[in-house]
Every structure is written in structure tokens, then in C-alpha cells.
Structure 1
Amino acid sequence: MVPWGWGCTLGWGLILGTLLAWAPVWSCPSGCLCVEKNSLTVVQCMSRNLEKIPSDLPTDTSILLLASNRITHVPNHAFKELHHLQQLDLSNNHIERVDVGAFQGVYDSLLLLDLSNNNIQRVPKEVFARLRAKVSLSNNPWHCECTLQEVLRELRLDPETVNEVVCHTAVQDEYAGRPLIQVLDSGINFCNFHHKTTDVAMFVTMFGWFAMVIAYVIYYIRHNQEDARRHLEYLKSLPSTSQISRDFDTISTVL
């Protein structure tokens, strides 16, 4: 049986250990909860009606939870000072735009990135080019085209959510509503459509310019023909040389 004094000491030891394991981090954004857990700084800002990513995050943040807010934009350099960031949860927001340099500064440290359940249709292919993290992009209204196909080549897509990256719209309507990975596995190459579309656009543009040149040439010819006709009629209206000679002879005889 443990003596009462020892039991109190043991109890306080457990409480103290718990407090140390979840020690608060004092430089914490307003409305967020920041704690230390297993030597990791966890910043919990979930469901706080945030409209943008806090700018005063602790520089030693390891886990950043920003899910279920109203964030619409992930700007350049949003996490550039968070060189220890390992997990970033941006799911269940209203994100529509992710800038090219959004994850600059965390390329090497970030291990997990969750962008699921947002409003993302397109992202620049360079966004994920240097990331080592496993990324979830599920349940966004993706527009399936060449750029998105190239994006998938640049990242480590979470295998558990790969079938949830669905084409909300596509360069060809027949692929709308289908998981992107299934479309690509069937042999479809959206970049071929892109090149064909570009070729058609160039052909239409060239045809338009050609038509304008032809129209100008026709107008120029017709305009010149009209001027030539007027000049010819004017010349015809002038008295001939023989008539002028006869008139001159008549005047000489009279004189």
C-alpha cells in the first residue's frame, strides 16, 4: 500500500507532467489555442470564422489546424516563417485561389497538407512542385484540363482520397462527373486537347486576318476602279484634238 504522502506526490507528479505535455504557447494568434505536445507546437484555429490565415503564427509551429473557417485565398508566403511546420489542415474552408508561392518556406518540412472540401477549380502547376508532403485535394470542383493533369505529376496525392478528385467540369463535357484518375487511366491526355484547342484558335485567328486582308484588297480594287471610271468619263467629256483643230481653222478663216 502506497503511503498517503507518496500518493499525493505521485498525483501531483502526474498533473505536472500533463501540464508540461500541454504547456501553452504564449505568442498565439487571437482566437486560437496554442499548446506544446510531445515537443511539437500545435496551433488550433478550427471553426473560428477566420477569413484569412493569421499572420502572427508562432515561428515554431509544427501542426497548424485551420479547418472549418471561411478562408478564401492562400496567398504567397503565407507560411514562409514556419520552417518547422509538418502538418497543415486547410480543409472545409471556401478556398478558391492558391498562389504560386503559397507554400514557400515549408517545402522541405511539410509532411501532410489537406486542401479537401474547398472551392478550388484550378491551381498553377508550380504550387506543389517542390513539396514533399502528402496532399489531399478531394471534394473540390475541379476543372479537368492539361494544367490539372500536370499538377498531379508534381505532387504526392493521398492514395486514400485519389478517387475523390472528381472532374466537376472538363475540357470535354463527357468527362465531367468522373474521377480524374479514372479518366487518366483510360488513356485520356488533356494536354492533347489543349494543343488541339490552341491549334484551332491559331487557325481561326489566321483565317480572320486573311479574310481581313482579302476584304481590304477587294475594297481597294473596287475603290480604284470607281476612281478610274470617273477619270475615264471626265476624259471622254473633254473635246477631242480634231475638234479643237477644226474650231481653230474656222476662227482663222473668219479673221
Structure 2
Amino acid sequence: SSPTDLWCVAQAFFYLLLCVPWGSSCPPSCQCTERAGAKAVLCSSRHLEEIPKDIPKDAVFLKLDANSITRIPSNAFRHLSHLEELDLSRNAIEKIDRAAFKGVAAGLRTLDLSSNRIRSIPKEALLALNAKLRLANNPWHCECALQEVLWEARLDPDSVQDITCHTAPREEYVGKPLLQVLDAGVNFCSVRQRTTDVAMFITMFGWFAMVIVYVICYVRHNQEDTCKHVDYLKSLPSTQGHAETTSTAL
């Protein structure tokens, strides 16, 4: 082949390299497809124990359901700025870090965390989320933190009745939908506030008692010193008696 032919082949190969979407490679355990012009990354039922690191940056739909993921670490999806739907249902998630959804909060529309092992979730993890949340079928511990999440989050109305109390401060709430408990007038945050107030009262009482004991000890100590000083003065020869003795002698 002539040098001209080789140059043409090299040039074609170079242009081919420019067209390859380097940032859009698909994780080996997932399947990447186009859905209405948007990239969908499907990683369902792949026996994953953690979130893949090499998810394409242009992913719009990400399905990680039916795996064995136990934790959502900080910045797990930070590079996925186009992400709109995230499905993490039917895993074994127990821990969600405070910055778990940092970087995707603004554009995320749907977040499915149902059917996991989540007992509590930090409010900070959901602060900037506008996504519709599915939190059903988790072993929730009904307390003030979960109540605050429900107050501030956008919950999926179709699944909100399935957010039930697996454990709670009082046995009568166990097994009941959290929304039903709150609608009955229960306020877990006021219980925590009362507990805090009692703890503060006990602490203040302890400090006050220490001050009183210190004052009593101080007064008693000064009284003892005063008594000793008086006894010492009484033991000294009287000045008046000494003066009479002197005048008699004269």
C-alpha cells in the first residue's frame, strides 16, 4: 500500500477515536440503553454489594434494585449531574451517609428506597432533594428524626401508608403507619424536648446543689476559724486585770 493510503487509514482511525464516547462506557455488571433519547443504566438483580464506580456521567435513569447493597456512602452519585430517576429498592441498605445524594439533589425527580433495612435516615441527606421519595417497607424506628424527615420530604402518596413503625418509644405505636400515629396527635419531637428539659433541669439542680454545699462548707469553715480565734483571745491575760495589778503595786 502507498504512503497516501496509510495516511488515509490513520486519519480515519483518528477521527473514529474522536467520536468514541469515552465518558459513556457501561459498567460490566450493567446494561446501558437509550430511552427516549436519554441514557438508562440497568443494574437490577446483579448481586451487587456496592454502588458501581463507573456509571456513565450522562445517565438519566439508574436502576440498582434487587441487589445486596448495604450502604450509600457520601458522594456516591456526585458525578451523575443528569440523573433524574434512581431506584435503590429491594436491597439491604442499612446506612445512608449525610452527603449520600450530594451532586444529584437538584435534578433528581424520583428516589426509591423502599424494601430495605433502613431504621433511620439523616435529615441532612434529604435537605436539598426535590425528588418524590418512596420509603415504604423498611424497619423504621419512629422518633423525632424520622418525623422531621416526613415533615420536609416529598413523599410518594401511594406508598406513604406503608411507612410503619417497626420500633417506637411506646409499644402501642409499633406496627402502625407513622402517618396514622402522627395524625392521632403524637409528637415524637416534643417527647425528646421534654427529655432534654428534664436532663437540663437535673444538671442545673446538680450545679445548684454543689454551690449550696460549697457555701455551707465555706461558712462552717469560717465559723470554726472564728471560734478558734475567739478562744485564743479569751486565753490571753486580761488587759484590765493587768492594769489593776500594776496600780495596786504602786
For 1:61, the equivalent position in structure 2 comes to 59
| Secondary structure of the structure 2 residue equivalent to 1:159 | coil
Does the CA-based 8 Å contact 1:96-1:121 persist in structure 2? Answer: yes
Distance, in Å, in 1 between the alignment partners of 2:200 and 2:136 is 35
Partner residue in 2 for 1:166: 164
- 1:135 match: 133
Superposition pairs for residues 119-134 of structure 1, below 5 Å? 119-134=117-132
| 2:40 alignment partner, one of 42, 67, 73 | 42
SS of residue matched to 1:62: strand
Query: Do the aligned residues in 2 keep the contact of 1:107 with 1:131 (CA within 8 Å)?
Result: yes
Structure 1 unaligned runs (5+)?
A: 1-24
2:191 and 2:127 map into 1 onto residues whose CA distance is: 23
Are 1:89 and 2:84 matched, yes or no? no
Residue range with higher mean Cα deviation, 168-177 or 202-211: 168-177
Aligned pair 1:238/2:236, yes or no? yes
Aligned counterpart in structure 1 of residue 199 of structure 2, from 198, 201, 207: 201
Write the distance in 2 (CA, Å) between the matches of 1:243 and 1:176.
90
Distance 1:156 1:247, change over 3 A: same
> Does the 8 Å CA contact 1:91/1:115 hold for their aligned counterparts?
yes
In the TM superposition, residue 180 of structure 1 has moved relative to its aligned partner by 0.2
C-alpha displacement of 1:165? 1.0
1:30 CA drift (Å): 4.3
What residue number does 2:78 align with? Answer: 80
**TM-score (ref. length: structure 1):** 0.74
Note if contact 1:93-1:118 (Cα within 8 Å) is conserved in structure 2: yes
- The 8 Å contact of residues 97 and 123 in structure 1, kept in 2 or not, is answered as yes
Deviation at 1:224, TM superposition (A): 1.9
Alignment gaps of 5+ in structure 2? 1-22
Structure 2 distance, partners of 1:120, 1:236, is: 80
Query: Structure 1 200/58 Cα, relative in aligned 2: closer, same or farther at 3 Å?
Result: same
Which amino acid in the other structure matches residue 196 of structure 1?
R
RMSD: 2.9
Residues 1:176 and 1:246: Cα distance change in structure 2 (over 3 Å)? farther
d(CA) in 1 for partners of 2:189 and 2:213? 36
Query: What is the deviation of 1:116?
Result: 1.7
1:96-135 equivalent positions in 2, closer than 5 A: 96-135=94-133
1-side partners of 2:116 and 2:222: how far apart?
64
Structure 2 contact 24–58 (Cα < 8 Å) conserved? no
CA contact (8 A) 1:87 1:110 kept: yes
Is structure 2 residue 69 aligned with structure 1 residue 71? yes
| 8 Å contact from structure 1 (residues 167, 175) kept in 2 | yes
Give the corresponding residue for 1:18.
none
Q: Work out the number of aligned pairs and report it.
A: 228
Structure 1 237/174 Cα, relative in aligned 2: closer, same or farther at 3 Å? farther
- Between the aligned partners of 1:242 and 1:51, the Cα distance in structure 2 is 100
Secondary structure, counterpart of 2:158 in structure 1:
helix
